[in-house]
Structure 1
């Protein structure tokens, strides 16, 4: 039953004074106290407007309950004067005898309060809340006796409010219902109603998105929803207006993790399941178990239900945001840097997707809507310029080519490129894409910008740098390959002549390794190995640095072949080779 229907039903029952004891039951946090206050405000009976409201939480005995009722009555400005007068009169009459019996002055006051109870509760409307949270020492039969006494002797009326899902002893409620309750109303608050009540105390600019997620999670506990709304407000504070795609990415996860943390979903998933969830992996694991004929466990069935919930919330997988949000619920602290980074990324991705869709619609019109004039198409292209910075540079290159084909389209296409470059240059962190991907073309201005950016961030490597990097990493990377492909015999010669010690050893031994495995390195390094040999041949032929030349000859004898130092005519490239050949002839 919805709150509105329950309210009307409860008002009718209260209006009938023949109903001495009425019960309002429902799950914890679903708005029973809220409903009572609403009924009380609209009540036509003064007794209902002036009703005494007492929570039985922790109350140990009936005497303590009566003292609480007196305290509640004293808090009422309309009736406290008469009650105080009665207590004062009783003090004059009973104070001295009670002081003789009680050592503690507060005990005397409590006794006087107890004497005042029949007078105070006469014909009063009394609300007893949290009956299921009474102290174990307070027996339910005592509560029943108290209610029966004051309804019969003092014409009091009672409204009992109880959380039906938190009863430790179900027979207690059955006994109350059977013995003393005239009518019972059960409140079944819907998630939508619970959210609207929670929203009254905690406004939220993202209310529609939060409400939708609350409904999909079937959360009806108003207190939990209020905590979730506060969490959303904190996580998204000062974020400005977020687009729908970003909200769809962050709100459902926040609501779900909040509901898990505050235990708002019966038999719901745990945070570990959510943080590691991937719909494809879940489905593959399920199919694999089915093929293997494995018995399905209770956990398997629960995880299937949880996966369906993730599907309703449109959460196919989780990433950094869920980790940050879950950390917030567990610690109360926000990792602001990580949160800003991931939300900014969601915003940028959503904007890029929106722009790409608009661009694709525009290109479709060029091809399939010949009735649209070139002038109108040009105007539509100009309207896209402010958003072109979100485009992938390769896709932008393709769009540039298409727009350039329109009459007078070249200047517009160039402004698209310039807008992209302006945004690219504004960012401190480089985003260059590297060499062409899958042979896709890249506009020359963008390619030039990328090369300049790479040169700034990654200064040119020396040939020795390449040898050291490959020795350390095992395989050459793009920069290593490019350096070797662009190398010349003169560069190798200069490097060999300039190096000494450990650097010379590393350089020579690594290049002999490349040369010995030239079939493997021919593609990534191009002519680099041949250039190395030419450089060595030149140094030996000039023989102007005898020790370095002899070192090269020795290394070729050991790690390659001395014949590799012969020149193109087949003549010995060095005096040493000529001497060896003459000795062989004799």
Structure 2
């Protein structure tokens, strides 16, 4: 049953005299104790409560129940026990005669000593006694002894609520639990918490500012464990305590923190922690033969982590060590927030360009107002997008804003030293203001290291993604550059690249092709006995029509015409 149904049924059973012993069961972390405390507070139920975690004997259980009614723990009770030690036996006998408790009050009085006064007894007998964490009792305390205490409480007129995770009992204890169950337990309520229930239970622990993000990430994780939900709330509050983040970025980072916390405390699988999740999430190809767990982890994870890996690493460090490194988090937040806001603005800028040219509904006045808001961020646009923005301004009849756009772009690009590419991705750069082109070239000359001849050839001939800088590197290579290039390659890779270039006939690098071809012909013709000359002839570096040229006589002889 879900939380609301379970609570409603428990409330009704507590008021029904036919049910003396009620078992509230559910998996670890489902929120059984939390539900009881909620109900007790809502209905103002007077009750005794004792957790059996570590309890070693029945007397300790009785003592704990009595102490809980007057808000004392074992240590506090022990401090004053000696005061009443001499009168306890007489009090026990007198109270037993008055209460018809069949010896229960006497037993409790003997265990508690000074704590058993008439007012305490009257509140205990006939009230509600709650025994929690049955499965966590010391191994020396048998289920038989626990059931004996429960039966004694029932006979003394108590309504008993037993809270436990039966599946976590030891094999022996589980057998005994089943054996005594029918004789002792009147009814069992099984709590089955879902993700929404678990989050509702810890909602008050999350700052209002982050609650939407935490709830979404928690529900996406599909975790139902309230104890893990409490840990999630504490982690988020600790890491994001004073964070000033764009809401969109906050949602992404909080999701990372939530999912890693769930993983760390085995909310996805009892064998996987946060480090395992990170390792698998960052593995592009899983080697399932050497690491079969990797495939298993990936198949079970209902999440997709962000690309903010440094932040994720800092979260895992905190989860493992407890070290609160606010300096690192603050630095990461500032860097990520700045980049995120820039990216968000860039999206608005590029969207404006498209809409200004194609949107049939929005008015020119609306476009102008938005353009004026975006102008301060003009420098975020690379050259061709800047060209598109200026074209859009003219399209909506706001050509008077073009000069302001150019000035803002120049100031921002120079300030931030942005080395924008000058290659033609689409369209023409004819509409770009010459001042923008000049500044881009100046920055490139200072910041951009020109690509090597090898890099340029590999980009253009194989991997792709080249720019005008790569074409320029090929076209600017002199004969000496090509000779050195041919001589320095290993395993013939440079020879193969030159052959591929000459065969390509790629027009934008025709100058480079001509010089490379000429260099090969010169070496083959002038240095026929050199190792390089022989390779040029034997490996068909030149096209077929040039093979005759490679068999020309050595320098000094006059070729026949």
TM-score when normalising by structure 2: 0.67
Find the counterpart in structure 2 of residue 226 from structure 1. 230
Native 8 Å contact 1:278 1:317 kept in 2? no
Per the alignment, residue 207 of structure 1 pairs with 211
Alpha-carbon deviation of 1:17? 3.5
Structure 2 CA distance for partners of 1:401 and 1:227, relative to 1, 3 Å: same
Unpaired segments ≥5 residues, structure 2: 91-107, 460-465, 489-494, 503-508, 520-526, 533-555, 557-561
Equivalent-residue separation in structure 2 for 1:157 and 1:43 (angstroms) = 15
Residue by residue over 1:489-532, the C-alpha shift from the partner in whole angstroms, topping out at 9 and shown as x without a partner, is xxx9xxxxxxxxxxxxx99x969979xx9998996779999xx9
Distance across 2 between alignment mates of 1:131 and 1:299: 36
Contact 1:123–1:157 under 8 Å retained in 2: yes
1:406-433 CA-to-partner distances (Å, cap 9, x unmatched) read 43x3222333333333333443xx3312
> Does the 8 A contact of 2:199 with 2:218 survive in 1?
yes
Number of the residue aligned with 1:565: none
Q: What is residue 551 of structure 1 aligned with on the other side?
A: none
Cross-structure match for 1:455 = 445
Residue 156, structure 1, aligned to residue 155, structure 2: no
In structure 2, do the counterparts of structure 1 residues 329 and 87 end up closer, same or farther at CA, with 3 Å as the change threshold?
closer
What's the offset of the Cα at 1:63?
A: 2.4
Counterpart of 2:202 (choices 169, 180, 198) is 198
After superposition, give the CA deviation of every residue in 1:289-348 in whole Å (9 maximum; x if it has no partner).
9xxxxxxx9975764343xx13xxx55877544344334333444543455434543443
Structure 1 segment 84-95 matched on structure 2, within 5 A: 91-92=86-87
How far apart are residue 22 of structure 1 and its match?
Answer: 1.4
CA distance change for structure 1 residues 12 and 450 in 2, over 3 Å: closer, same or farther? Answer: same
Aligned counterparts of 2:61 and 2:40: Cα–Cα separation in 1: 22
Asked if the contact 2:475/2:511 (under 8 Å) is kept, the reply is yes
Instruction: Report the equivalent of 1:420.
Output: 409
Q: Count matched residues.
A: 473
Deviation at 1:84, TM superposition (A): 11
Distance in 2, Cα, partners of 1:300 & 1:93: 65
Structure 1: any 5+ residue segments left out of the alignment? 96-108, 290-296, 493-505, 533-554, 561-579, 581-586
Cα shift at 1:131: 0.7
Deviation at 1:471, TM superposition (A): 11
Moved more, 228-237 or 252-261: 228-237
Residues 324 and 339 in structure 1, CA contact (< 8 A), matched pair in contact too: no
Q: Shift of residue 140 of structure 1? A: 0.6
Question: For residues 487 and 380 of structure 2, what CA distance do their matches in structure 1 show?
Answer: 46
| Cross-structure match for 1:75 | 71
Question: C-alpha separation between the residues in 1 aligned to 2:167 and 2:352?
Answer: 52
Q: 1:361 to 1:326 in 2, by over 3 A?
A: farther
Structure number with greater Rg is: 1
1:242 to 243, 246, 250: 246
Q: 1:156 to 1:240 in 2, by over 3 A?
A: same
Measured in 2, the distance between the counterparts of 1:221 and 1:279 equals: 28
Contact 2:14–2:159 (8 Å) recurs in 1: no
Q: CA deviation at 1:439?
A: 6.3
Aligned equivalent of 1:128, options 127, 131, 134: 131
Q: Aligned residue for 1:394?
A: 384
Identify if the C-alpha distance between structure 1 residues 249 and 178 changes in structure 2 by more than 3 Å, giving closer, same or farther. same
CA distance in 2, matches of 1:268, 1:357: 46
Partner residue in 1 for 2:559: none
Separation of aligned partners in 1, 2:284 and 2:116: 67
**C-alpha contact (below 8 Å) 2:263/2:272 kept by paired residues:** yes
Moved more, 394-403 or 136-145: 394-403
| 1:353 matched to 2:347 | yes
Secondary structure class of the residue paired with 2:281: coil
CA distance change for structure 1 residues 86 and 165 in 2, over 3 Å: closer, same or farther? closer
Greater Cα shift, 161-170 or 114-123: 114-123
* Residue in 1 that maps onto 2:4: 4
Give the match for residue 292 of structure 1: none
> Within 2, Cα distance between the matches of 1:458 and 1:425?
14
Matches within 5 A, 1:141-540: 141-152=144-155, 154-169=156-171, 170-244=174-248, 246-266=249-269, 271=274, 272-277=276-281, 303-306=298-301, 309-310=302-303, 315=305, 319-333=309-323, 334=325, 335-336=328-329, 337-338=331-332, 340-365=334-359, 368-369=360-361, 374=364, 377-407=367-397, 409-427=398-416, 430-438=417-425, 441-442=428-429, 443=432, 444-457=434-447
Query: Residue 205 of structure 2 contacts residue 233 of structure 2 at CA under 8 Å; is this kept in 1?
Result: no
| Alignment CA distance shift 1:35-1:116 (3 Å) | same
Alignment RMSD (CA, Å): 5.0
Q: 2:59 aligns with which of 55, 63, 73?
A: 63
In structure 1, what is the Cα distance between the partners aligned to 2:164 and 2:84?
37
Cα separation, 1, equivalents of 2:366 and 2:87: 97
Alignment check: 8 A CA contact 1:56 1:133 kept: yes
C-alpha distance in 2 between matches for 1:263 and 1:193: 19
Contact 2:456-2:470 within 8 A present in 1 as well: no
Query: Counterparts of 2:332 and 2:226 in 1: how far apart (Å)?
Result: 30
Equivalent pair of 2:143/2:177 in contact (CA under 8 Å): no
* Larger CA deviation: 57-66 vs 386-395: 386-395
Distance 1:89 1:324 in 2: 56
The aligned residue for residue 26 of structure 2 is: 26
Q: Deviations over 1:59-104 (max 9, x none)?
A: 1111222333343344369xx99x9999856524769xxxxxxxxx
Distance 1:375 1:318 in 2: 39
TM-score by length of 1: 0.65
CA contact (8 A) 2:456 2:473 kept: no
